[in-house]
Structure 1
Protein backbone atom coordinates (compact mmCIF):
# COMPACT_ATOMS: atom_id res chain seq x y z
CA UNK A 1 0.00 0.00 0.00
CA UNK A 2 1.13 3.52 -0.80
CA UNK A 3 0.13 6.26 1.63
CA UNK A 4 -0.17 9.93 0.74
CA UNK A 5 -0.56 12.93 3.03
CA UNK A 6 -2.96 15.86 2.89
CA UNK A 7 -3.34 18.03 5.98
CA UNK A 8 -6.85 19.43 5.60
CA UNK A 9 -9.34 16.78 4.50
CA UNK A 10 -12.85 17.86 5.47
CA UNK A 11 -15.26 17.39 2.56
CA UNK A 12 -16.02 14.35 0.39
CA UNK A 13 -13.59 15.64 -2.24
CA UNK A 14 -10.35 17.61 -2.02
CA UNK A 15 -7.65 18.99 -4.30
CA UNK A 16 -3.89 18.56 -4.23
CA UNK A 17 -1.45 21.41 -4.69
CA UNK A 18 0.77 21.56 -7.77
CA UNK A 19 3.74 19.74 -6.20
CA UNK A 20 1.67 16.81 -4.91
CA UNK A 21 -0.41 16.66 -8.09
CA UNK A 22 2.69 16.47 -10.28
CA UNK A 23 4.16 13.73 -8.10
CA UNK A 24 0.98 11.68 -8.16
CA UNK A 25 0.11 12.08 -11.85
CA UNK A 26 3.43 12.63 -13.64
CA UNK A 27 5.90 10.74 -11.47
CA UNK A 28 3.73 7.87 -10.24
CA UNK A 29 1.57 7.91 -13.41
CA UNK A 30 -1.72 7.60 -11.58
CA UNK A 31 -4.83 7.93 -13.75
CA UNK A 32 -8.50 8.74 -13.41
CA UNK A 33 -10.26 5.99 -11.47
CA UNK A 34 -7.13 4.78 -9.68
CA UNK A 35 -7.51 4.04 -5.97
CA UNK A 36 -5.19 5.91 -3.58
CA UNK A 37 -4.86 6.11 0.21
CA UNK A 38 -4.45 9.36 2.13
CA UNK A 39 -4.00 10.36 5.75
CA UNK A 40 -4.47 13.72 7.43
CA UNK A 41 -1.88 12.87 10.08
CA UNK A 42 -4.54 12.96 12.79
CA UNK A 43 -5.40 9.27 12.84
CA UNK A 44 -7.63 9.02 9.76
CA UNK A 45 -7.03 6.80 6.76
CA UNK A 46 -8.98 7.80 3.65
CA UNK A 47 -9.55 5.30 0.86
CA UNK A 48 -9.97 7.47 -2.23
CA UNK A 49 -10.37 7.58 -6.01
CA UNK A 50 -8.73 10.03 -8.43
CA UNK A 51 -11.56 11.80 -10.24
CA UNK A 52 -9.51 14.39 -12.15
CA UNK A 53 -5.83 13.58 -12.88
CA UNK A 54 -4.87 17.20 -13.44
CA UNK A 55 -1.08 17.44 -12.87
CA UNK A 56 -1.54 20.98 -11.57
CA UNK A 57 -4.56 20.41 -9.31
CA UNK A 58 -5.62 16.78 -9.03
CA UNK A 59 -9.08 16.10 -7.59
CA UNK A 60 -9.57 13.26 -5.12
CA UNK A 61 -12.84 11.68 -3.95
CA UNK A 62 -13.13 10.01 -0.55
CA UNK A 63 -14.76 6.56 -0.68
CA UNK A 64 -14.23 5.46 2.91
CA UNK A 65 -12.88 6.91 6.17
CA UNK A 66 -11.14 4.71 8.71
CA UNK A 67 -9.93 5.86 12.11
CA UNK A 68 -6.87 4.60 13.97
CA UNK A 69 -7.37 4.65 17.77
CA UNK A 70 -4.83 6.38 19.99
CA UNK A 71 -2.16 4.27 21.66
CA UNK A 72 -2.68 3.44 25.33
CA UNK A 73 0.65 5.14 26.05
CA UNK A 74 2.37 8.38 25.01
CA UNK A 75 6.08 8.90 24.35
CA UNK A 76 7.52 12.41 24.58
CA UNK A 77 11.24 12.59 23.84
CA UNK A 78 13.16 15.74 24.79
CA UNK A 79 16.64 15.77 23.28
CA UNK A 80 19.47 18.24 22.80
CA UNK A 81 20.08 18.82 19.08
CA UNK A 82 23.46 17.91 17.64
CA UNK A 83 25.71 20.19 15.64
CA UNK A 84 25.17 18.06 12.53
CA UNK A 85 21.66 18.76 11.21
CA UNK A 86 21.66 15.64 9.02
CA UNK A 87 21.89 13.49 12.14
CA UNK A 88 18.81 15.19 13.56
CA UNK A 89 16.95 14.58 10.30
CA UNK A 90 17.91 10.90 10.42
CA UNK A 91 16.76 10.73 14.04
CA UNK A 92 13.29 12.22 13.56
CA UNK A 93 12.77 9.92 10.59
CA UNK A 94 13.63 6.81 12.61
CA UNK A 95 11.71 7.96 15.68
CA UNK A 96 8.62 8.41 13.53
CA UNK A 97 8.97 4.96 12.01
CA UNK A 98 9.42 3.33 15.44
CA UNK A 99 6.57 5.30 17.00
CA UNK A 100 7.20 8.50 18.96
CA UNK A 101 4.28 10.80 19.79
CA UNK A 102 6.06 14.08 20.55
CA UNK A 103 9.59 15.45 20.13
CA UNK A 104 10.99 18.52 21.88
CA UNK A 105 14.44 19.84 21.11
CA UNK A 106 16.01 20.82 24.39
CA UNK A 107 18.60 23.47 25.20
CA UNK A 108 20.95 22.36 27.95
CA UNK A 109 24.26 23.62 29.31
CA UNK A 110 26.42 21.73 26.82
CA UNK A 111 24.07 21.93 23.82
CA UNK A 112 25.81 22.17 20.46
CA UNK A 113 23.00 23.93 18.57
CA UNK A 114 20.17 26.30 19.50
CA UNK A 115 18.42 26.77 16.13
CA UNK A 116 16.87 24.20 13.83
CA UNK A 117 15.01 24.22 10.51
CA UNK A 118 11.76 22.86 11.87
CA UNK A 119 9.99 23.01 8.51
CA UNK A 120 12.58 20.67 7.01
CA UNK A 121 12.28 18.32 9.99
CA UNK A 122 8.48 18.34 9.60
CA UNK A 123 8.87 17.22 5.98
CA UNK A 124 11.14 14.38 7.10
CA UNK A 125 8.53 13.32 9.66
CA UNK A 126 5.69 13.34 7.12
CA UNK A 127 7.79 11.35 4.63
CA UNK A 128 8.53 8.80 7.37
CA UNK A 129 4.82 8.55 8.23
CA UNK A 130 3.99 7.80 4.61
CA UNK A 131 6.80 5.26 4.30
CA UNK A 132 5.85 3.43 7.52
CA UNK A 133 2.08 3.70 6.89
CA UNK A 134 1.37 5.75 10.00
CA UNK A 135 -1.77 7.86 10.18
CA UNK A 136 -0.58 10.09 13.04
CA UNK A 137 2.14 12.71 12.61
CA UNK A 138 4.21 13.19 15.78
CA UNK A 139 4.15 16.64 17.32
CA UNK A 140 7.40 18.57 16.85
CA UNK A 141 8.30 21.38 19.25
CA UNK A 142 10.93 24.12 18.91
CA UNK A 143 14.04 24.36 21.07
CA UNK A 144 13.01 24.68 24.73
CA UNK A 145 15.26 25.27 27.77
CA UNK A 146 15.73 22.16 29.88
CA UNK A 147 14.76 24.03 33.04
CA UNK A 148 11.34 24.86 31.55
CA UNK A 149 10.67 21.22 30.65
CA UNK A 150 11.76 19.89 34.03
CA UNK A 151 9.61 22.36 35.95
CA UNK A 152 6.52 22.17 33.74
CA UNK A 153 3.57 20.96 35.83
CA UNK A 154 1.83 19.38 32.83
CA UNK A 155 4.28 16.49 33.13
CA UNK A 156 3.42 15.72 36.75
CA UNK A 157 1.39 12.65 35.73
CA UNK A 158 4.05 11.41 33.33
CA UNK A 159 6.63 8.80 34.19
CA UNK A 160 9.75 10.93 33.83
CA UNK A 161 13.28 9.76 33.05
CA UNK A 162 16.68 11.29 32.48
CA UNK A 163 19.22 9.14 30.64
CA UNK A 164 22.92 9.76 31.18
CA UNK A 165 26.25 7.95 31.35
CA UNK A 166 27.56 7.05 34.81
CA UNK A 167 28.87 3.75 36.17
CA UNK A 168 26.54 4.11 39.16
CA UNK A 169 23.54 4.71 36.88
CA UNK A 170 23.27 1.10 35.77
CA UNK A 171 19.53 0.36 35.84
CA UNK A 172 18.26 0.12 32.28
CA UNK A 173 15.22 2.06 31.12
CA UNK A 174 13.62 -1.27 30.20
CA UNK A 175 13.48 -2.26 33.88
CA UNK A 176 11.82 0.97 35.04
CA UNK A 177 8.98 1.47 32.59
CA UNK A 178 5.41 1.07 33.77
CA UNK A 179 3.13 0.03 30.91
CA UNK A 180 0.37 2.21 29.49
CA UNK A 181 1.64 5.51 30.84
CA UNK A 182 2.65 8.85 29.41
CA UNK A 183 6.44 9.18 29.39
CA UNK A 184 8.88 12.07 29.20
CA UNK A 185 12.51 11.11 28.71
CA UNK A 186 15.40 13.57 28.55
CA UNK A 187 18.46 12.89 26.39
CA UNK A 188 21.37 15.30 26.71
CA UNK A 189 24.04 16.42 24.25
CA UNK A 190 27.17 14.36 23.60
CA UNK A 191 28.83 16.28 26.43
CA UNK A 192 26.01 14.91 28.60
CA UNK A 193 24.16 16.83 31.33
CA UNK A 194 25.96 18.95 33.90
CA UNK A 195 25.79 17.93 37.56
CA UNK A 196 23.53 20.92 38.22
CA UNK A 197 21.12 19.77 35.51
CA UNK A 198 21.05 16.23 36.84
CA UNK A 199 20.29 17.49 40.34
CA UNK A 200 17.53 19.74 39.00
CA UNK A 201 15.94 16.75 37.30
CA UNK A 202 16.23 14.61 40.44
CA UNK A 203 14.67 17.41 42.51
CA UNK A 204 11.67 17.28 40.16
CA UNK A 205 11.30 13.49 40.50
CA UNK A 206 12.91 12.40 37.24
CA UNK A 207 14.17 8.82 37.42
CA UNK A 208 17.79 8.21 36.36
CA UNK A 209 18.14 5.48 33.76
CA UNK A 210 20.71 3.81 31.55
CA UNK A 211 20.41 2.88 27.88
CA UNK A 212 23.13 0.24 28.07
CA UNK A 213 26.85 -0.07 28.64
CA UNK A 214 27.91 1.66 25.42
CA UNK A 215 28.36 5.40 25.16
CA UNK A 216 25.82 6.40 22.52
CA UNK A 217 25.57 9.39 20.23
CA UNK A 218 22.65 11.62 21.18
CA UNK A 219 20.52 10.64 18.20
CA UNK A 220 21.23 6.94 18.76
CA UNK A 221 20.24 7.32 22.42
CA UNK A 222 16.96 8.95 21.38
CA UNK A 223 16.13 6.08 19.02
CA UNK A 224 17.13 3.48 21.64
CA UNK A 225 14.93 5.12 24.30
CA UNK A 226 11.82 5.28 22.12
CA UNK A 227 12.31 1.73 20.88
CA UNK A 228 12.68 0.48 24.48
CA UNK A 229 9.42 2.13 25.56
CA UNK A 230 7.62 0.77 22.50
CA UNK A 231 8.99 -2.69 23.19
CA UNK A 232 7.77 -2.75 26.79
CA UNK A 233 4.31 -1.54 25.84
CA UNK A 234 3.94 -4.05 23.00
CA UNK A 235 5.43 -7.15 24.63
CA UNK A 236 2.00 -8.73 25.02
CA UNK A 237 1.49 -8.46 21.25
CA UNK A 238 4.79 -10.10 20.25
Structure 2
Protein backbone atom coordinates (compact mmCIF):
# COMPACT_ATOMS: atom_id res chain seq x y z
CA UNK A 1 0.00 0.00 0.00
CA UNK A 2 1.32 3.43 -0.95
CA UNK A 3 1.57 5.87 1.94
CA UNK A 4 1.02 9.63 1.67
CA UNK A 5 2.02 12.24 4.23
CA UNK A 6 -0.17 15.36 4.13
CA UNK A 7 1.31 18.36 5.96
CA UNK A 8 -1.08 21.04 7.18
CA UNK A 9 -0.87 24.47 8.78
CA UNK A 10 -1.56 25.21 12.43
CA UNK A 11 -1.65 28.98 11.89
CA UNK A 12 -5.07 30.42 12.66
CA UNK A 13 -4.45 34.16 12.30
CA UNK A 14 -2.97 36.59 9.78
CA UNK A 15 -3.26 39.37 12.35
CA UNK A 16 -5.62 40.29 15.17
CA UNK A 17 -8.35 41.25 12.70
CA UNK A 18 -7.99 38.45 10.16
CA UNK A 19 -8.38 34.77 10.93
CA UNK A 20 -7.04 32.11 8.58
CA UNK A 21 -6.10 28.44 8.51
CA UNK A 22 -6.40 25.53 6.10
CA UNK A 23 -8.51 25.89 2.93
CA UNK A 24 -10.85 22.96 3.49
CA UNK A 25 -11.32 21.67 -0.07
CA UNK A 26 -7.56 21.68 -0.66
CA UNK A 27 -7.26 18.98 1.99
CA UNK A 28 -10.57 17.16 1.64
CA UNK A 29 -10.54 16.67 -2.14
CA UNK A 30 -6.98 15.27 -2.26
CA UNK A 31 -7.61 13.22 0.89
CA UNK A 32 -10.68 11.62 -0.72
CA UNK A 33 -8.81 10.98 -3.96
CA UNK A 34 -5.89 9.34 -2.16
CA UNK A 35 -8.21 7.12 -0.14
CA UNK A 36 -10.14 6.19 -3.29
CA UNK A 37 -6.85 5.09 -4.85
CA UNK A 38 -6.17 2.84 -1.89
CA UNK A 39 -3.41 4.95 -0.33
CA UNK A 40 -2.83 5.13 3.42
CA UNK A 41 -2.94 8.80 4.46
CA UNK A 42 -1.33 10.38 7.51
CA UNK A 43 -2.07 14.02 8.35
CA UNK A 44 0.58 15.94 10.26
CA UNK A 45 1.29 19.54 11.21
CA UNK A 46 4.08 21.44 12.96
CA UNK A 47 2.28 21.38 16.31
CA UNK A 48 -0.06 18.43 15.77
CA UNK A 49 -3.59 18.43 17.10
CA UNK A 50 -6.63 20.17 15.64
CA UNK A 51 -6.25 22.12 12.40
CA UNK A 52 -7.88 25.56 12.05
CA UNK A 53 -10.11 25.83 9.00
CA UNK A 54 -10.38 29.12 7.13
CA UNK A 55 -14.07 29.95 7.46
CA UNK A 56 -14.04 31.52 4.00
CA UNK A 57 -13.53 28.00 2.66
CA UNK A 58 -16.57 26.54 4.43
CA UNK A 59 -19.70 26.63 2.30
CA UNK A 60 -23.22 26.56 3.73
CA UNK A 61 -23.54 22.97 2.63
CA UNK A 62 -20.29 21.09 3.17
CA UNK A 63 -20.20 18.05 0.87
CA UNK A 64 -21.11 14.86 2.72
CA UNK A 65 -17.99 13.17 1.43
CA UNK A 66 -15.84 15.70 3.35
CA UNK A 67 -16.94 14.20 6.70
CA UNK A 68 -14.08 11.71 7.02
CA UNK A 69 -11.48 14.32 6.08
CA UNK A 70 -12.91 16.79 8.60
CA UNK A 71 -12.66 14.08 11.22
CA UNK A 72 -8.96 13.63 10.45
CA UNK A 73 -8.41 17.36 11.00
CA UNK A 74 -9.47 17.07 14.63
CA UNK A 75 -6.22 15.39 15.67
CA UNK A 76 -3.15 15.46 13.43
CA UNK A 77 0.28 14.00 14.15
CA UNK A 78 3.22 16.18 15.19
CA UNK A 79 5.40 16.44 12.10
CA UNK A 80 8.69 16.09 13.97
CA UNK A 81 7.64 12.63 15.20
CA UNK A 82 6.99 11.27 11.70
CA UNK A 83 9.41 8.77 10.13
CA UNK A 84 9.53 10.03 6.55
CA UNK A 85 11.12 6.78 5.39
CA UNK A 86 7.69 5.18 5.78
CA UNK A 87 6.10 7.33 3.05
CA UNK A 88 6.04 7.30 -0.74
CA UNK A 89 4.82 10.86 -1.22
CA UNK A 90 4.22 14.17 0.55
CA UNK A 91 1.40 16.62 -0.24
CA UNK A 92 0.91 20.16 1.10
CA UNK A 93 -2.61 21.66 0.93
CA UNK A 94 -2.94 25.42 1.14
CA UNK A 95 -4.77 28.14 2.98
CA UNK A 96 -3.16 31.42 3.98
CA UNK A 97 -2.04 29.83 7.25
CA UNK A 98 0.71 28.00 5.39
CA UNK A 99 2.41 31.33 4.65
CA UNK A 100 3.09 31.81 8.35
CA UNK A 101 4.18 28.50 9.87
CA UNK A 102 5.45 26.26 7.06
CA UNK A 103 8.29 28.27 5.41
CA UNK A 104 10.64 28.08 8.39
CA UNK A 105 9.63 24.72 9.87
CA UNK A 106 12.78 22.61 10.11
CA UNK A 107 11.07 19.19 10.28
CA UNK A 108 9.26 20.06 7.05
CA UNK A 109 12.51 21.15 5.40
CA UNK A 110 14.11 17.87 6.44
CA UNK A 111 11.14 15.90 5.11
CA UNK A 112 11.09 17.69 1.76
CA UNK A 113 14.83 17.19 1.37
CA UNK A 114 14.32 13.46 1.98
CA UNK A 115 11.49 13.15 -0.54
CA UNK A 116 13.37 15.10 -3.20
CA UNK A 117 16.65 13.25 -2.80
CA UNK A 118 14.99 9.83 -2.79
CA UNK A 119 12.93 10.49 -5.92
CA UNK A 120 9.65 10.34 -4.04
CA UNK A 121 6.55 12.26 -5.11
CA UNK A 122 6.15 15.85 -3.86
CA UNK A 123 2.89 17.73 -4.31
CA UNK A 124 1.15 20.91 -3.20
CA UNK A 125 -1.76 23.13 -4.12
CA UNK A 126 -2.46 26.88 -3.89
CA UNK A 127 -0.50 28.31 -0.90
CA UNK A 128 0.85 24.85 -0.07
CA UNK A 129 4.12 25.58 -1.95
CA UNK A 130 4.85 28.11 0.82
CA UNK A 131 6.24 25.04 2.56
CA UNK A 132 8.85 24.71 -0.21
CA UNK A 133 10.43 28.13 0.19
CA UNK A 134 13.78 28.51 1.94
CA UNK A 135 14.35 24.74 1.70
CA UNK A 136 17.76 23.61 0.45
CA UNK A 137 18.99 20.25 -0.79
CA UNK A 138 22.26 18.61 0.26
CA UNK A 139 24.02 20.20 -2.72
CA UNK A 140 23.06 23.68 -1.52
CA UNK A 141 20.47 24.31 -4.23
CA UNK A 142 17.00 25.52 -3.40
CA UNK A 143 14.39 22.74 -3.50
CA UNK A 144 12.44 24.55 -6.24
CA UNK A 145 15.45 25.61 -8.33
CA UNK A 146 14.79 24.61 -11.95
CA UNK A 147 11.43 22.98 -11.15
CA UNK A 148 8.47 23.66 -13.42
CA UNK A 149 5.68 24.45 -10.99
CA UNK A 150 2.73 26.63 -10.09
CA UNK A 151 0.98 27.96 -7.00
CA UNK A 152 -1.20 30.86 -5.90
CA UNK A 153 -0.21 33.68 -8.22
CA UNK A 154 0.57 37.30 -7.39
CA UNK A 155 -2.50 38.29 -9.40
CA UNK A 156 -4.72 36.00 -7.34
CA UNK A 157 -3.18 37.26 -4.09
CA UNK A 158 -3.84 40.85 -5.08
CA UNK A 159 -7.47 39.93 -5.77
CA UNK A 160 -7.90 38.54 -2.25
CA UNK A 161 -7.01 41.95 -0.81
CA UNK A 162 -4.66 40.22 1.64
CA UNK A 163 -1.39 40.74 -0.24
CA UNK A 164 -0.19 43.61 2.02
CA UNK A 165 -0.62 41.34 5.05
CA UNK A 166 1.43 38.46 3.68
CA UNK A 167 5.05 37.93 4.81
CA UNK A 168 5.95 37.50 1.11
CA UNK A 169 4.30 36.96 -2.26
CA UNK A 170 4.43 33.24 -3.01
CA UNK A 171 4.96 33.48 -6.77
CA UNK A 172 7.69 36.09 -6.37
CA UNK A 173 9.67 34.14 -3.79
CA UNK A 174 9.38 30.85 -5.68
CA UNK A 175 10.72 32.61 -8.78
CA UNK A 176 13.52 34.20 -6.75
CA UNK A 177 14.59 30.73 -5.59
CA UNK A 178 14.78 29.46 -9.16
CA UNK A 179 11.35 27.95 -9.79
CA UNK A 180 10.12 27.96 -13.39
CA UNK A 181 6.75 29.28 -12.28
CA UNK A 182 3.81 28.79 -14.62
CA UNK A 183 0.68 30.75 -13.78
CA UNK A 184 -2.60 30.45 -15.67
CA UNK A 185 -5.68 32.69 -15.64
CA UNK A 186 -6.75 33.63 -12.12
CA UNK A 187 -8.81 30.93 -10.42
CA UNK A 188 -8.65 28.54 -13.37
CA UNK A 189 -7.95 24.82 -12.90
CA UNK A 190 -4.20 24.58 -13.55
CA UNK A 191 -1.74 21.84 -12.63
CA UNK A 192 1.95 21.51 -13.49
CA UNK A 193 3.65 18.11 -13.34
CA UNK A 194 7.44 18.08 -13.53
CA UNK A 195 8.36 14.43 -13.15
CA UNK A 196 7.49 13.53 -9.57
CA UNK A 197 6.90 17.18 -8.54
CA UNK A 198 3.19 18.08 -8.82
CA UNK A 199 1.63 21.47 -8.08
CA UNK A 200 -1.81 23.04 -8.46
CA UNK A 201 -2.46 26.77 -8.68
CA UNK A 202 -5.51 27.44 -6.50
CA UNK A 203 -8.56 25.84 -4.82
CA UNK A 204 -10.06 25.14 -8.25
CA UNK A 205 -7.03 22.93 -8.97
CA UNK A 206 -7.25 20.72 -5.87
CA UNK A 207 -8.92 17.72 -7.49
CA UNK A 208 -6.76 17.83 -10.62
CA UNK A 209 -3.59 18.18 -8.57
CA UNK A 210 -4.62 15.21 -6.42
CA UNK A 211 -5.27 13.06 -9.47
CA UNK A 212 -1.93 14.00 -11.04
CA UNK A 213 -0.13 13.32 -7.74
CA UNK A 214 -1.83 9.93 -7.42
CA UNK A 215 -0.90 9.03 -11.00
CA UNK A 216 2.74 9.91 -10.28
CA UNK A 217 2.67 7.85 -7.10
CA UNK A 218 1.36 4.87 -9.03
CA UNK A 219 4.22 5.41 -11.43
TM-score under structure 2 normalisation?
A: 0.36
Query: When you count helix as a share of all residues, which structure comes out higher?
Result: 2
Q: Looking at CA atoms only, which structure, 1 or 2, has the larger radius of gyration?
A: 1
More strand by share: 1
Tell me the TM-score normalised to structure 1 length.
0.34
